[in-house]
Amino acid sequence: MDIDRAYEILNSPKKIEVTYNNTPVWIEGINKQKGTANIKMLSNNTLLEVNTNSLTETGNLMKS
């Protein structure tokens, strides 16, 4: 995913579904200088810093 799109998703009022390695995640923050995102794995709440290119937008909204 492009870093600008990741930033848009982070700041969106909608809960847009994003995956990392086919696992749903929540974007916690963006570091534009490093090109990374701080994400939380929704399956186990693990926090990771990953390259935004490794994130995928599914096109779906997250279920509440």
Question: What CATH number is attached to the domain comprising 21?
Answer: 2.30.30
Q: How many domains does the chain have?
A: 1
The whole-angstrom distance between residue 19's C-alpha and the CA centroid of its chain comes to: 7
Is the pLDDT score of 64 beyond 80? no
Residue 40's domain comprises 3-59
Instruction: Say if 28 falls within a structural domain.
Output: yes
Count of other CB atoms within 10 angstroms of residue 34? 11
Instruction: Say if 30 falls within a structural domain.
Output: yes
Contact present, 37 and 20 (Cβ < 8 Å): no
Instruction: Say if 64 falls within a structural domain.
Output: no
Count of other CB atoms within 10 angstroms of residue 28? 13
Give the integer Cα–Cα distance in Å for 6 and 1. 7
Q: pTM of the full predicted structure?
A: 0.92
Instruction: Say if 48 falls within a structural domain.
Output: yes
Contact present, 18 and 1 (Cβ < 8 Å): yes
* pLDDT tens digit sequence for 4-50: 999 999 999 999 999 999 999 999 999 999 999 999 999 999 999 99
